[in-house]
Amino acid sequence: MTGKFFVIGVGPGDPELLTLRSIRLLKESSVLIVPKGKEDGNSTALSIIEQIVPTDDKEIIEIYFPMKKIRMGQQPNAEVDAAWQSAARIIIEKVREGHTVSFPTIGDPAIYSTGFYTCQTLLALDQEIPTSIVPGVSSIGACAATAGVPLCQGDDMMAVIPATFTNDKLTEVFNSFQTVVLMKVHRVMGRIITLLTELDLLEHAVLVERTAQNSERIFTDLKAAQQAEPHYFSTIIVRKR
């Protein structure tokens, strides 16, 4: 077996934010396993790659990964687990055939990434598959850069959490950290705005939508952002200082 498997972070959207290593490995790959969030949709990761890496000579396998909540320590949704298992078995087959297989994932693989779940599933099936994780520019870092907001300075502490957590949990985090990054905010904007108002933090929040993409938008007024119906790829940074 001479094949290899790579989970590759391709950044938040701008192809110029791909690392040199990511570009080299994607060019060397003969098979791309690309995730998509809708059965009849397109892969955002693939759309980033195609702007900078030729793909005509590669086998591209699109796999639908349902957008379901995943709770650590609990069994994943059956449909989600089936997608992980399917992707892992395809990767194992291709690597055993001698292919270099890459799984491009938005942002960085270590942060709420389907690629990491797939990699863990694969290694549970076959620990002998040569596997590497390639970091990428995270949406968190890109949002902070485009908004001109530092994430950490001096003795700051930062937390990154889903906005879907309960208000009690969110309040505990806001009280403990100087910077809080809220992911998955688009469906709970009203609740988040109310909570931030109660905590006197609304004026300390900025929302970045589709960071590093052509349609990027920045909102320092979260109520205006709510009226604009923010996209799934939206992040709120709350910084007290």
pLDDT for position 1: 61
Same topology, domains 4-134 and 139-239? Answer is no
Identify whether the C-beta of residue 63 lies closer than 8 Å to the C-beta of residue 37: no
Identify whether the C-beta of residue 206 lies closer than 8 Å to the C-beta of residue 199: no
Name the band, by pLDDT with cuts 50, 70 and 90, for residue 74: confident
CATH number at 4-134: 3.40.1010.10
Tell me if the domain spanning 139-239 has CATH number 3.50.50.60: no
> What tens digit of pLDDT does each residue of 79-124 get?
889 999 999 999 999 999 999 999 999 999 999 999 999 999 999 9
> What tens digit of pLDDT does each residue of 210-238 get?
999 999 999 999 999 999 999 989 999 99
> Alpha carbon of 195 to those of 40, 114, 198, 236, 237: distances in Å?
36, 29, 5, 13, 14
> What tens digit of pLDDT does each residue of 28-68 get?
999 999 999 888 889 999 999 999 999 999 999 999 998 77
The rounded distance, in Å, linking the Cα atoms of 110 and 200 is 32
What's this model's pTM, rounded to 2 decimal places? 0.91
**Domain locations in the chain as residue ranges:** 4-134, 139-239
**DSSP for 93-156, written as a single string:** HHHHTT-EEEEEESB-TTSS-HHHHHHHHHHHH-TTS-EEEE----HHHHHHHHHT--S--TT-
Look at residue 76 and give its three-state secondary structure.
coil
- Crossing angle of helices 78-96 and 114-125, rounded to 10°: 60
> What tens digit of pLDDT does each residue of 187-213 get?
999 999 999 999 999 999 999 999 999
